[in-house]
Amino acid sequence: MLFVGAGRHQRRAILRARELGLCVVAVDGNPEALGLQVADLPEPVDFRDVDAVERVARKHRVDGVLTISSDRAVPVVAEVADRLGLPGIGLQTAIRMTDKLAMRRALAARGVPQPRFTAVRTLAEARSALADIGLPAVLKPADASGQRGLALIADETELGSHFDEAVSRATTGEAILESFHQGLEVNTLLVARRGEPRLLTASDRLRPEGRGFGVALTHLYPTSVSGRRLGELEDAARETVRALGLSDGIAYPQLLVSADGVRLIEAAARVPGGQMSELVRHAIDVDLVEVALRQALGQEISDDMVAPRLRQPLAIHFLTACPGSLRPGRLLRVGSLEPLLQLPGVVQAETYFTPGETIRPVQVDGDRRGYVIAYGETREQALERAQQAAAALDVEIEEAAPQTELGSERL
């Protein structure tokens, strides 16, 4: 099995593939990537070079190719699979799943509810479009991920200050201006088999206000949406998968539930990051990584493999600063996770601090420095347990400013 991308988020999936008896080939442009260190056959290759990835695939005569968590790798995986005649989602579907403009147009053609949108290449075009889109608005690169280049535009002056970054983050040099809507964001996960998408989970995606408004602070299962609105949410998720042409694969639609209805925000065709595969594993006992591996090999996915074996309320709470239990400043020391793992309901925790790094307020996904997963009798209890565990982590940070008398604060 060839993994395209082998960073921190891919490492656990690579280990799972090896547990299942697969020989793992992995490519990543970073020779120190954590996933390369656990792969059977590591190849320090930049996965943006499709020809180079294809050469690796042919060299090792792989039987399947996939990516975990990386949107940028999805079209590469699809193209390499097409070239080698391996199972895949197809390049056109991969483009619709990663290019936000192509996605918006495909959804519009099928009548899937979504924000109003306009593609822009220049600041003049953006200012003109803002008159139709209205304020507040969301500006984002056409094909970036991880909240990079994402900005909430409250007035026209903010458009000018954020536009260059949004366009520079897009490989196409194109950005999208969308209408902003208040509401609850909900993550859904589906498995498509022979053109029929099956919903696995729907969980609330809790996020902050302000600059980091697109970053998830907590995933909370099950969703608080119920009744007729839940039916609309599930229908929109399934129709999104069909509209984007995903016949066999993992789908990750993110939807917004507002007072006036449900709208599709974004979708992806991969096992998502943010520990979402862990949510599925702990909450309903379905192994999403194994499903993805088997689909990449062209194997049949039985009903039993995607049937929930339980329904466990669960919270995944990330370690962040402003908001969050961390303080901004230079990291001095991090204590052990063992005390957290002994707390009631905590089933998993991980940190990815770098010694001496600067902890900053949440702006992009990369500002999250770890997570705690906890279950409870109710979702509210799960959230309380996860937050309490996160706050209990022994972290020493030298505050950036203003300096305290002691120069540091222990959390």
Domain ranges of the chain: 2-86, 116-179, 184-306, 314-410
Q: In angstroms, how far is CA 28 from the centroid of its own chain?
A: 19
Could you tell me which of 71, 111, 115, 113 has the C-alpha nearest to residue 94? 71
The whole-angstrom separation of Cα 11 and Cα 353 is 16
Q: What is the pLDDT of residue 164?
A: 87
* Average pLDDT estimate for 148-173: 86
* Average pLDDT estimate for 125-135: 91
* Average pLDDT estimate for 348-362: 94
Could you tell me the pLDDT band of residue 410, with boundaries at 50, 70 and 90? very low
Distances (CA, A) of 202 to 118, 170, 224, 321: 28, 29, 9, 26
Distances (CA, A) of 287 to 64, 221, 347: 18, 16, 16
CATH class as words, domain 314-410: alpha beta
Low-confidence winner among 44-48, 147-151, 164-168, 171-175 (lowest mean pLDDT): 147-151
Could you tell me which of 352, 340, 193, 358 has the C-alpha nearest to residue 273? 352
Q: What is the pLDDT of residue 105?
A: 95
Q: What is the pLDDT of residue 145?
A: 65
Q: Are 334 and 393 in contact (CB under 8 A)?
A: yes
- For the cut 60, the answer to whether the pLDDT of residue 409 exceeds it is no
Tokens of 147: 């909240």
The whole-angstrom separation of Cα 213 and Cα 268 is 19
* Average pLDDT estimate for 225-232: 97
Tokens of 249: 């694969």
b/e per residue, 279-310, with b = 16+ CB within 10 A? Answer: bbbbbbebbbbbbbbbbbbeeebeeebbeeee
pTM score, whole prediction: 0.91
Chain position carrying tokens 């950036």: 400
Crossing angle for the helix pair 91-98 and 73-84, nearest 10 degrees?
180
- For the cut 90, the answer to whether the pLDDT of residue 235 exceeds it is yes
Low-confidence winner among 10-14, 133-137, 165-169, 279-283 (lowest mean pLDDT): 165-169
Could you tell me which of 58, 63, 76 has the C-alpha nearest to residue 21? 63
Cα dihedral 16, 18, 22, 23, rounded to 10, equals 130
Could you tell me which of 90, 64, 117, 60 has the C-alpha nearest to residue 264? 117
Strands (E), 144-294: 151-153, 175-179, 184-193, 196-206, 218-221, 249-251, 254-258, 261-266
* Average pLDDT estimate for 9-27: 96
Using one digit for the tens of pLDDT, what is the confidence trace for 386-408?
999 999 999 999 986 654 444 43
- For the cut 60, the answer to whether the pLDDT of residue 5 exceeds it is yes
Q: What is the pLDDT of residue 273?
A: 84
CATH class as words, domain 184-306: alpha beta
> What own/partner pairs with CB < 8 Å and gap ≥ 24 does 22-29 have?
22/293, 25/1, 25/56, 25/57, 25/60, 25/62, 26/2, 27/2, 27/3, 27/52, 27/53, 27/56
For the chain, first and last CA: distance in Å? 43
- For the cut 60, the answer to whether the pLDDT of residue 382 exceeds it is yes
Could you tell me the pLDDT band of residue 171, with boundaries at 50, 70 and 90? confident
Q: What is the pLDDT of residue 397?
A: 94
Tell me the chain's radius of gyration from C-alpha atoms.
Answer: 21
- Domain 2-86, CATH 3.40.50.20 — does that match? yes
Q: Which amino acid appears at position 375 of this protein?
A: Y
Could you tell me which of 335, 327, 375 has the C-alpha nearest to residue 351? 335
Could you tell me the pLDDT band of residue 384, with boundaries at 50, 70 and 90? very high
Could you tell me which of 306, 303, 296, 299 has the C-alpha nearest to residue 89? 296
* 348, containing H or E segment: strand 346-351
DSSP string, 158-187: HHHHHHHHHHHH-TTS-EEEEE---SEEEE
Using one digit for the tens of pLDDT, what is the confidence trace for 188-201?
999 999 999 999 99
Q: What is the pLDDT of residue 31?
A: 96
CATH superfamily assigned to domain 116-179: ATP-grasp fold, A domain (3.30.1490.20)
Q: What is the pLDDT of residue 406?
A: 40
- For the cut 60, the answer to whether the pLDDT of residue 411 exceeds it is no
The whole-angstrom separation of Cα 41 and Cα 215 is 34
Tokens of 360: 């900053």
- For the cut 90, the answer to whether the pLDDT of residue 170 exceeds it is no
* Average pLDDT estimate for 67-72: 91
Tokens of 195: 């053109």
Low-confidence winner among 134-148, 189-203, 213-227 (lowest mean pLDDT): 134-148
Q: What value does the mean pLDDT of the chain take?
A: 93
Q: What is the pLDDT of residue 172?
A: 81
- For the cut 60, the answer to whether the pLDDT of residue 88 exceeds it is yes
